[in-house]
Structure 1
């Protein structure tokens, strides 16, 4: 059978859990002997009680026990089948099935305290033939080794029906040669069971060499069974889907081809990730959406590229270009008769300042005075004695337009632009003199403000947050005490935001890649990407005014 990589993964994902289940529950798990140490405690602290005389007087062969301790063991059938006496993996001539070793302790005595079934009693004692009473059966008892300072109890090959169990109480003392006062090591169990004369017996012996420690349930609890069933069903379903569906089957609304995106640098990170996810989801349709570092060069430049592409393609009036989309922060300035837009979401913007300025909060009036050139030193705003260095985006930037329209404008229709640049390059700013410069993207803006004493600029809020986490020189400004948040915008408390628009050259044809990607971005998986980048979809806003483009 000729299988590709994904199909092999599906086969293996079904085979391994299935084999593991069969091995655990049908092979090894059929004969599983379990144990629990339900009590292992010293009697020395209890002897301080006024009613503990019996414990103080515990003796063996005429001497008082040294540091006596009590251990309660529970032995159980933790498998799914009967454990017979021939299932114990010890020599046939050895009547002992389980040995428990207590290091640095001497066994003073042991007794079987509880049997889940009365029939189990005959595995431990039998009636005397020569006198009244009972004697221990072969394989049940204890030994002590003075050389190794160990005590060992022997438990016989008990026939244990399903879920049967018995308990053994052991009384021990510290060897007189052992002078340490440290806690005793945990008991060591030796013993195993398995089905004899079967094909898997050698492997079972190799894997399960000792009796298994069990917890609160003898086999598996109901929640465990439910979890096992759900896991198995999920694995089978995943494998079946991968095997039965045609390879690289794409969603029904995927469209192949190449799509060109451009526009806002502030909105670019979210669009880039949405494009990557669309390519991944529609891999079977041979989709290509190239979005490198230089793809997004601003709202104005992006719209110019869109119109150029439409004209070069010779798109007639009434038709549309299906392989180009430009994203802008708000309505693009100028006349663009063939460019159509639709609202996508709204983004929050923030003002940023270099930490050396010594300010964290500004009123709208103070911001307007800064961009009017009335304030040239941060000391005028009770900040540090550091010159103001305004860092602007170039004309045509959507982030700059949002600042002008939402913050600097005193009334609707105002077009109070930031001051003209005083230098051609931001690196030419004089540290001791007020100055203004311009940059061409969001990342350049944040980097310049961070590296310029007294630097002051603006950015989309998510980009600024990410940069500020690792850059202590960059500080986000609150406006009149209000943080830059989505709720602050919808409540009318925060003024700096803008609607994100998707421009196309004419109406993109039905079935085109541009139309499919816009649907994905606003109605399908792209919605989660936009939310993750701090945007709120226009279809989800409670206050419709925030998605009215300006």
Structure 2
């Protein structure tokens, strides 16, 4: 169970991290080249690289930087997402410490639509100011910058500090942030570690499954259980028993659902230790101290009055008068001129017992009325009371 839970939790956490954390707006920058343009060897024809100049003056310590700007998030970046003032024309500022920018050209566009937005690119001292370029997912563009020493002296080691993003943009882009990215030629170490962990988890689950496939679940019981009691519970009980047997094949059930009263009486007679269970839709009667009630559900009882009676509503006192025999015709309570006929559950029914106790104030239904009707109904085919040819015109049944 613990392994199964991990099998669900780990991918869920990975998905949340991927889409909620990494999926925010992210603008990435990558320095793909930062090298000197000096002739450090014995080149016979240095050509243009040996003639880099600014306003006709040769560069003292020329260097070249190739910079890639890219949308690394999972959502688009709009010009309003750049975390700068609205009146600021620049969305990103890239600084080259210790150097001054001589010139910049755009060398690559992932989408030609980016060209019009890059018209506002400017250069100032050691800064390249990039405009607020709208970028769809996976969009990128590249800049090639020519630089020289800021103080006019040549570095003996040719090393300058790495280019860096400066200004307020470093704090965020549309709820995300700007990050320095790295070129990856394969799957990341984090992804490989996650795949390896999931693979181990799957193997462990398989081992546990195959070792336990021939054994019953730890919470299964075996043996035979007799179930009796309420006929109202029978469909639900049988379905529950089938579901239990599907998982616990060593369990067997016997059913004797003949009414709440009979079920409780059989259980009481069986005594302590009996492998028996009784369902009742009524309260446990007095005189059975050995039985312990365990409530499992709420049951709603109602009375049904035949529409042919003309009665649509009955008050509690009218119901009691009906069952006391004081009302014998429906016209006495505003209905049609039809004789009252009562139909009820059998005497051992928990439904009937609850009805007598809660509605009739504990008085038993008169046998000369409802019992006779029950005897007539029992033994008839299903739906007899609803058949127009045989249905009593006036029925009242709980």
TM-score range, shorter chain: 0.3 to 0.5
Tell me the TM-score normalised to structure 2 length: 0.44
Q: Which has the higher contact order (CA 8 A, sep 6+)?
A: 1
